[in-house]
């Protein structure tokens, strides 16, 4: 088993798992010291490209960003999202997962869904591909308004069954996106593998956020996003200083010229 995955599994019930997204080398270089998992999420579609859906992210985009991210990752486990329409059947999934791993040297791929994709998960595992699951809100197949999952008893039963099924078929961890607090707690308690929550309460084994959201670079009003910092303020200060010095011909001085 991948040593980094082993380390993450050992954290269950002992220490919280820290996961953050990255789409580039410079950001992953900063994150890597503090994270257990760095995820090249297909959220890059909305965060970087202003797409109204992650479905518009394609394989080449995710591979190019993953190659950049890889350069900044040393100690964290690197997971890459398989984009929409890249795992419609077992063969397609294996071919594309191998391609992602070949070019980015990622440790694992993440797929959205439970029972519906279980044959694909099984096949990837059979071919030694490390897989992370993703349940709750599934942006790649979601239709209509986003609302949290686990409101009705049938929905709760299905999500719990999906989580157990994914574990049985070899995923090493599952992202729980916007799952009601007590259901997230129940899933986390029932599973031997760690759950990584996003909008799913403190009861999960770890937490993930989109880095651009938490540093205030990407402006969003999603309920579960806490603004831990206002990086825009600091970028603004630097840009204003640059503009000022250029206008006053204070920059570039001889020191910065050839």
Is residue 213 within the footprint of ligand KIV (CB under 6 A)?
no
Residues 6+ positions from 158 with CB-CB distance below 8 Å: 114, 115
Least separation in angstroms between residue 108's CB and ligand KIV is 13
Q: Which is nearer to ligand KIV, 18 or 238 (CB)?
A: 18
- Distance in angstroms (rounded) separating the CA atoms of residues 202 and 191: 16
Least separation in angstroms between residue 235's CB and ligand KIV is 22
Least separation in angstroms between residue 132's CB and ligand KIV is 9
Is residue 162 within the footprint of ligand KIV (CB under 6 A)?
no
Question: What residues form DSSP beta bridges with 19?
Answer: 37, 208
Q: Helix (H, G, I), strand (E, B), or coil: what is residue 76?
A: coil
**Is residue 245 annotated as part of the catalytic site, yes or no?**
no
> In what helix (H) or strand (E) does residue 195 lie, and over which residues does it extend?
strand 195-198
Is residue 106 within the footprint of ligand KIV (CB under 6 A)?
no
- Distance in angstroms (rounded) separating the CA atoms of residues 199 and 197: 6
With CB under 6 A as the contact rule, the residue among 69, 175, 183, 187 that binds ligand KIV is 175
Lay out the site mask for ligand KIV across 14-43 (x = CB under 6 A, - = otherwise). -------x-----------------x-xxx
Residues 6+ positions from 66 with CB-CB distance below 8 Å: 40, 78, 80, 100, 103, 104, 106
Is residue 205 within the footprint of ligand KIV (CB under 6 A)?
no
**Site residues for ligand KIV, window 60-99 (CB under 6 A)?**
81
Q: Which is nearer to ligand KIV, 59 or 251 (CB)?
A: 59
Q: Answer for the pair 170, 191: CB distance below 8 angstroms, yes or no.
A: no
β 37-40/17-21 pair status: parallel
Binding site for ligand KIV (CB under 6 A): 21, 39, 41-43, 81, 175, 198, 208, 210
């Amino acid at each position: 088993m991948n040593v980094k995955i082993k380390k993450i599994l050992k954290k269950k019930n002992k220490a919280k798992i820290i996961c953050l997204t990255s789409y580039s080398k410079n950001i992953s270089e900063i994150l890597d010291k503090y994270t257990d998992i760095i995820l090249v999420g297909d959220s890059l579609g909305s965060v970087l490209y202003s797409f109204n859906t992650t479905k518009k992210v394609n394989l080449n985009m995710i591979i190019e960003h993953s190659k950049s991210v890889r350069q900044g990752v040393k100690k964290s486990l690197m997971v890459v999202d398989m984009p929409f329409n890249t795992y419609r059947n077992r063969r397609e999934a294996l071919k594309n997962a191998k391609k992602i791993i070949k070019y980015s040297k990622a440790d694992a791929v993440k797929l959205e869904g439970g029972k519906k994709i279980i044959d694909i998960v099984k096949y990837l595992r059979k071919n030694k591909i490390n897989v992370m699951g993703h349940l709750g809100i599934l942006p790649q197949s979601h239709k209509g308004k986003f609302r949290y999952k686990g409101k009705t008893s049938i929905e709760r039963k299905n999500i719990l069954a999906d989580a157990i099924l994914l574990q049985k078929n070899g995923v090493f961890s599952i992202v729980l996106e916007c799952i009601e607090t007590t259901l997230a707690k129940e899933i986390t308690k029932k599973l031997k593998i760690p759950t990584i929550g996003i909008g799913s309460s403190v009861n999960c084994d770890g937490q993930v956020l989109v880095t651009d959201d938490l540093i205030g670079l990407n402006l969003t009003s999603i309920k579960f996003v806490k603004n831990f910092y206002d990086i825009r303020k600091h970028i603004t200060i630097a840009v204003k200083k640059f503009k000022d010095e250029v206008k006053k011909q204070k920059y570039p001085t001889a020191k910065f010229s050839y």
